[in-house]
């Protein structure tokens, strides 16, 4: 049985692309709320636009409509990248604002997955005699909301894991760095883009990294720091325990060591006790559920081989990035990951080389 499809003009595509650009620009900075772009058009001219606020509020429709006079909004068309909300949350429904504004036509790209709103806006708006269409550039907006769909459906953040290795697939070296400076800058962009960064205490102790974004101008967008540390083996001299961002750090553990617990708390570190799984490891599904509950929508995991294997075993990774050097380490390297890469190739259906200028290094995305 075929279904009737909404018809769109070339102008509709043009204005929805503007809304999509607004959503992309704010994507990753709206907490658990989706990043939505909105454009209001009258007489073939943009009269207002909006995007979701940082941390998720105000909503894009609210921003766009509040900056217009009611007389200007009457008879206009509003383009929104996601179905306008119909439910009362911390703010009134965006559909209420649309109806009150006397807007003539609403076009949105993709349905919300939030059960409080899903597929309700279309019926509601049409019942108010507003011309309502959906599905415009849906495949394009779907990519924007992969993080949002993941945590909304599964109550866990969107999890991206990455590893750096040599050309001969070794992950450890006597040298400090395996990949070159260009790869490392891309790695820091990841830290800028995701809400939180997660490592094991073993990695934190070995690398002595501050787990921050160190690209000039983006330092203030460094992610929340998360550490998997079953027995609280994080060393007292670790930068994550002593630097100015220590209060932006959470350690997930299963320790009864009151002395270490009290010491870490005295430094301002947040501690989360998590039960063990059947293999005697921290229950990673519970870890990520707790992470989701504090409002984190996306996590970049910079773990070593062991943590990555555990994540794969629990089917928790949504995307994997391999940063591969163009140089062989041979005898100065160790920790071959051929077995790990075999598992990754089996688990992920698609892969692509990221087109960047890395002076010989390469980045491969598995998804």
Strands 77-82 and 45-51: unpaired
CB 195 within 8 A of CB 299: yes
Ramachandran sector of residue 232 (left: φ over 0; alpha: ψ -120 to 50; beta: rest): left
In the chain, which ranges are E strands? 37-42, 45-51, 77-82, 105-110, 131-134, 158-165, 170-173, 196-200, 224-228, 249-253, 270-273, 298-301, 319-324, 333-336, 351-353, 362-366
Ramachandran sector of residue 344 (left: φ over 0; alpha: ψ -120 to 50; beta: rest): alpha
Residue 61 among the catalytic residues: yes
CA angle 277, 196, 205 (to 5 degrees): 70
Q: d(Cα 240, Cα 246) in Å, to the nearest integer?
A: 6
Catalytic one among 11, 61, 302, 319?
61
Catalytic residues: 61
């Amino acid at each position: 049985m075929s279904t009737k499809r909404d018809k769109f003009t070339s102008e509709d595509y043009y204005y929805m692309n503007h809304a999509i650009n607004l959503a992309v620009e704010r994507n990753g900075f709206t907490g658990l709320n989706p990043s939505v772009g909105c454009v209001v058009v009258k007489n073939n001219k943009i009269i207002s636009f909006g995007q979701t606020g940082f941390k998720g509020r105000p909503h894009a429709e609210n921003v766009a409509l509040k900056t217009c006079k009611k007389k200007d909004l009457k008879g206009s068309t509003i383009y929104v990248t996601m179905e306008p909300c119909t439910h009362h949350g911390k703010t009134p429904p965006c559909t209420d604002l649309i109806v009150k504004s006397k807007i003539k036509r609403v076009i949105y790209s993709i349905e919300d997955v939030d059960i409080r709103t899903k597929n309700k806006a279309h019926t509601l708006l049409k019942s108010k005699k507003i011309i309502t269409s959906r599905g415009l550039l849906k495949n394009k907006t779907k990519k924007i909301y992969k993080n949002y769909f993941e945590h909304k459906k599964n109550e866990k953040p969107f999890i991206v894991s990455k590893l750096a290795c040599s050309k001969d697939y070794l992950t450890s070296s006597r040298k400090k760095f395996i990949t070159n400076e260009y790869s490392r800058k891309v790695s820091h962009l990841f830290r800028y883009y995701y809400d939180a960064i997660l490592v094991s205490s073993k990695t934190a102790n070995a690398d002595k990294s501050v787990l921050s974004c160190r690209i000039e101008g983006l330092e203030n967008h460094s992610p929340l720091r998360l550490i998997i540390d079953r027995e609280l083996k994080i060393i007292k001299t670790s930068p994550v325990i002593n630097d100015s961002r220590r209060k932006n750090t959470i350690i997930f553990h299963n320790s009864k060591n009151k002395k270490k617990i009290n010491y870490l708390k005295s430094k301002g570190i947040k501690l989360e006790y998590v039960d063990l799984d059947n293999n005697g490891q921290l229950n990673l599904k519970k870890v990520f559920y707790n992470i989701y509950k504090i409002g984190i929508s996306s996590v970049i995991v910079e773990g070593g081989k062991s943590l990555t294997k555990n994540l794969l075993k629990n089917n928790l990774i949504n995307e994997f990035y391999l940063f591969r050097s163009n140089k062989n380490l041979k005898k100065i390297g160790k920790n071959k990951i051929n077995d790990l890469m075999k598992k990754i190739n089996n688990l992920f259906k698609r892969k692509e080389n990221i087109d960047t200028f890395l002076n010989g290094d390469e980045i491969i995305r598995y998804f």
